[in-house]
Amino acid sequence: MERMTDTAGTAPRAAADPTEPAPSNSALATAAPHRPTPPVARKAPVERNHHGDTFVDDYEWLRDKEDPEVVAHLKSENDYAEAVTVGQQPLRDAIFNEIKVRTEETDLSVPSRKRGWWYFVRTEEGQQYPVHCRVAAQETGDLAADWTPPTIEPGEPFAGEQILLDGNAEAEGQPFFSLGGMAVSEDGHLLAYAVDNAGDERFTLRIKDLRTGDLLPDIVENVFYGLAFSPDGRRVYYTVVDDSWRPHQIKVHVLGTDAAADVVLFEEDDPGMWTGFDVSPDRTELVIGVGNSEYSESLSLDMTDNEAKPRLLLSREARVLHSMDPISLNGERHYVVTHNRGPATDDAVNNMVSLVPSVEFEKPFVEQTWQTVVEHRDDVKVEGTAVTRTHLIVSVRKDTTERVQILPLSGLGTPEQTEPVEPEFDEALYTCALAGAEFESPVIRLVYTSFLTPSSVYDYVLASGALELRKETTVHHYDRAQYVAERDWATAADGTRIPITVIRHRSVQPDGTNPALVYGYGSYEISMDPAFGIPRLSVLDRGVVFVIAHVRGGGELGRRWYEDGKKLAKKHSFTDFVSVTEHVIERGWAAPDRIAAMGGSAGGLLMGAVVNLAPQLYRAVVAQVPFVDALTSILDPELPLSALEWEEWGNPIEDREVYEYMKSYSPYENIAPVPYPRIAAVTSFNDTRVLYVEPAKWVQKLRDVTTGDEPIVMKIEMDGGHGGASGRYEGWKDRAWDYAFVLDALGAVERVAEVEPLDGARVR
């Protein structure tokens, strides 16, 4: 599970002297003589000993979140951050208002049909959270008419509309609100939903009778993401995490009984394995998945049989990384398997797709017969599949971007199988993702977006291949012709070509004077795919070149791109990012003294490592919920997620080489006496993925060691989780804070002359 929101080469690194004053319109620069004094945490040295190596940690005591001294210190960090950045408040207000003015606040999603209902989500101006609704669907026998979404006007009442869950009502009086899952029973009478009011991603399960609006007495505490009803609506399946926040149990709750009596259907004891489940497209089978980033295991549970036990399909002993979609063909149960190797395939690193009759799983793995549906390709990564009654949908990554391919089930896995069809779009850099494939539906729902195109919803008609645009998200005061997004390539120190995305206002030219923000992630095979972002427009409108560094460790160029940036190759992520920064300087996209960097979670690790490698390249760094004390965390399997992470970083407890390698790049342990740029660490008190203590320790040590005088601040959301504060307006404020910190440092406060003012927005 990735730590999640929106590189040591020898090449020359052109950069200005980091001690040079910031541009004259920097609020921090003008306020520097009166800068407040940062909080100083006391030092309480603790020794950590592994493999004969001793590391002394002065700030480990900050881990105790129940200690009043710790809480007081964190609050003083917030006070300091606010005092240092108080001059940025007008800019924060401006960015917030620009986001607000551009957003269609009163809106609704395109209704999606499931069984006999159309489900959709409303948002209302002034409300933080969406309202989940539905209306009854028609059954006329005309497939085209019955599966055409009803026309519902934003903000207007619709006959027969029923509110399932109002997030604003649920959040009232709570410091935090997040939904961990929703499920409706097959008969449409009951709603199961899970709520988190702390930000720690431990949810409370409730059941609502949709016929009366009343809550049933059933309450189940500490559930994880994902819920499913049994076909008869009498049971709810859910996942439970252990003390280290690892999903390890699948349980079932029988309605009307005490949660203490809930039965454990499956339990995984290996601390390095993650457990979850999916429901089969025909909603009769629970597919339990257990795995890590390198291999997995699948089991099946017949949801129609109350006495059924999970049946093993493909064991972890086969060491196959895979996923499964159950289907019935000619009356026989089959599984569509996406996998990286099979009984007759040694290496399919980018995955292939096979069709396997259920009976084959009764045989030893090496004796099974799998029929190839999609062959392995070195230049195309298969991400996964979905199934309707008539078609197979395959998600693939080709030329760095995600797209969808469709082929009929008729003839699947035989010589009569037809070639897949791929919907085509005009842009070169885009994302086309499957948003819904209801089993009985004659259409599938696709979402299309790019760096320049707001999210657009299409229905793809399976019988004809027609694409029907249902909605493009409205963005006010936006002219896509005024912006450019293009692909470029940098060269790493080892000669590897690194894809880059460069996004800019059309008036910005590569003349070597521009401010630039370089963003990266680079872990867990997660790709920074093309997507539209309203907040990013406020950065582009101020003349900033927005650069996305698609570094190794991500998945943009397939599985090998990921493997070349993990474990003992992890430093490639960091050196790649530095190479990208140097490249944008060389190409003239950025002035050497006007570059900022930003990344979150594992991307925060990237920020911490990069600022140690090349602090002179960056005017400012924003590290969001940053994983900057990586080695300390991974050495403690009792901490949330740590044991699960061994497949990403290696196991430094057992492997001396891994320990030494991680210690050589872990940001906290490699802070050096150099002039660091201004840094903002943004975190949350209740984050369970990257604990607040990591940035808290990091900023203290940075202040201790830096030889420069740039401010280093930590902003902590005391009621938030890994995604920050809850609610869309609070989210916009968070984004405005981060961007204002960057823009102020880059001297890019003013909107460029070619950008028209926004009606209703206060802009500078």
Instruction: Report, as residue numbers or ranges, the catalytic residues.
Output: 601, 687, 722
Residues 409 and 95: their CA atoms lie apart, in Å, by: 49
Please state the separation of Cα 656 from the chain's center in Å: 31
Which residue bears the tokens 């493997």?
A: 563
Taking Cα atoms as reference points, which of 364, 375, 386 lies closest to residue 318?
Answer: 364
Residues 547 and 599: their CA atoms lie apart, in Å, by: 12
Contact 351, 559 (CB under 8 A): yes
**Cross-strand pairs, 302:** 285
Residues 688 and 1: their CA atoms lie apart, in Å, by: 12
Residues 310 and 335: their CA atoms lie apart, in Å, by: 16
Residues 530 and 526: their CA atoms lie apart, in Å, by: 13
The edge-to-edge listing of strands for the beta sheet with 380-387 is: 380-387, 391-398, 401-408
Residues 714 and 684: their CA atoms lie apart, in Å, by: 10
Long-range contacts of 35-38 (CB under 8 A, 24+ apart): 35/84, 35/711, 36/80, 36/83, 36/84, 37/80, 38/80, 38/703, 38/711, 38/712, 38/713
Rounded to whole angstroms, what are the CA distances from 645 to 323, 586, 659?
20, 37, 14
Rounded to whole angstroms, what are the CA distances from 301 to 280, 287, 691?
10, 6, 35
Residue type at position 755? V
Contact 136, 176 (CB under 8 A): no
- The H-or-E segment that residue 267 falls in is strand 263-267
Buried b (16+ CB within 10 A) or exposed e, 13-34: bebeebeeebbeebbbbebeee
